[in-house]
Amino acid sequence: MAIDLTQKSAKEAAFLERAYQQKQLAHSYLFVDRDEDEAVNTAYWLACLFNCTGEKRPDGTCQNCRQIISGNYPDVLLVTTAGKQSLGIDQIRPLKEELGKSPVQSSCRFFIINEAQKLTLPAANALLNLLEEPIAPVVTILITNNVDQILPTVRSRTQIINFAADEQVDNKTAFLIQNGFTKDQILELGDTRKFDQEIKYFYQEMLEYDLLSIVSAHQLADLAKSKVSQNYVWLMLKKMAQTELNDKDQQAGAKMLQNLLEIDKMRYSNVNFRNLLDYLALQWKR
Ligand SMILES: [Zn+2]
């Protein structure tokens, strides 16, 4: 990819700039971003900020910045899979060797490791002491689009910067507004993670014809007491059924949607929420 400093994440860049000014940059970061290119650009932006000789740092135009952006700056190294399936130990070892030498141009090196979820186990293990106690000044930035695929031992040694967190909240709000929720209702709903988890279990158990779906139905009913949270549950179930229909099992998705539409009619005749969930779970078993 071509590096473009303007394609950084402004919010994360502001956060890193503060850390830099306060001399509190961490040894190692884990940038979590669905858009890995944005995270890579932000990592390069930080390396430029550190090394820029211009007035408005980073200007992207001084000699250091230009060298960094073009990949020709000896103290800023990018590690990528280069089209392979994984990042192996052979790609990590040179970083350690590099650290054994003194920096060529800068007082600190930047190692940027893209697609860190593809690190092999030996490569991840080789990284550990680099992340923990580097033998020379270095900022290692791991970039991933899936934090769950990063080894806990690696994760715990990094400062995690989640680029996607705000974006997810914004997307969720937009989705709810599109589906008739008012701003007040969204506020009342609050953090939806507790519902999301239960809804996911419930849906999955129904699909698997698992008797536990009845238990989950009741847990969900206990959790979603307010009208607005109940509306949220129905909306999310429909969204899952729609995704099923479009991307996974068309037949199962269609059947689930059908059942949910039937439930919509019953909702207007004031059948209580718990009974409706039971009905959905039992209906599915037929
Ligand atoms: Zn510059």
Q: Which residue has the tokens 């709810």?
A: 176
Q: How many angstroms separate the alpha carbon of residue 5 from the centre of ligand 1?
A: 11
Q: How many angstroms separate the alpha carbon of residue 192 from the centre of ligand 1?
A: 43
Q: How many angstroms separate the alpha carbon of residue 14 from the centre of ligand 1?
A: 17
Quick count: other Cβ atoms within 10 Å of Cβ 283?
16
Q: How many angstroms separate the alpha carbon of residue 243 from the centre of ligand 1?
A: 46
Evaluate if pTM is beyond 0.85.
no
Q: How many angstroms separate the alpha carbon of residue 77 from the centre of ligand 1?
A: 17
Distance CA 254, CA 52 (A): 57
Q: Which residue has the tokens 């039971």?
A: 278
Per-residue pLDDT of the chain (286 residues; tens, 9 = 90+): 889 999 999 889 999 999 999 999 999 999 999 889 999 999 999 999 999 999 999 999 999 999 999 999 999 999 999 889 999 999 999 998 888 888 888 889 999 999 999 999 999 999 997 898 788 899 999 999 988 899 999 999 999 998 877 666 778 888 898 899 998 899 898 888 889 889 999 999 998 878 888 999 999 999 999 999 999 999 999 999 999 998 889 999 999 999 999 999 898 888 899 999 999 998 887 6
pLDDT tens digits, 194-222: 898 899 999 999 988 788 889 999 999 99
| Phi-psi map region of 273: left, alpha, beta (phi>0 left; psi -120 to 50 alpha) | alpha
Q: How many angstroms separate the alpha carbon of residue 72 from the centre of ligand 1?
A: 14
Q: How many angstroms separate the alpha carbon of residue 231 from the centre of ligand 1?
A: 52
Q: Where are the beta strands (DSSP E) in the chain?
A: 28-32, 76-79, 109-113, 138-144, 159-162
Quick count: other Cβ atoms within 10 Å of Cβ 170?
10
Distance CA 21, CA 272 (A): 57
Q: How many angstroms separate the alpha carbon of residue 43 from the centre of ligand 1?
A: 15
Q: How many angstroms separate the alpha carbon of residue 131 from the centre of ligand 1?
A: 27
Q: How many angstroms separate the alpha carbon of residue 50 from the centre of ligand 1?
A: 9
Q: Calculate the CA 134 to chain-centre distance.
A: 27
CB of 19 closer than 8 Å to CB of 130: no
Distance CA 112, CA 96 (A): 13
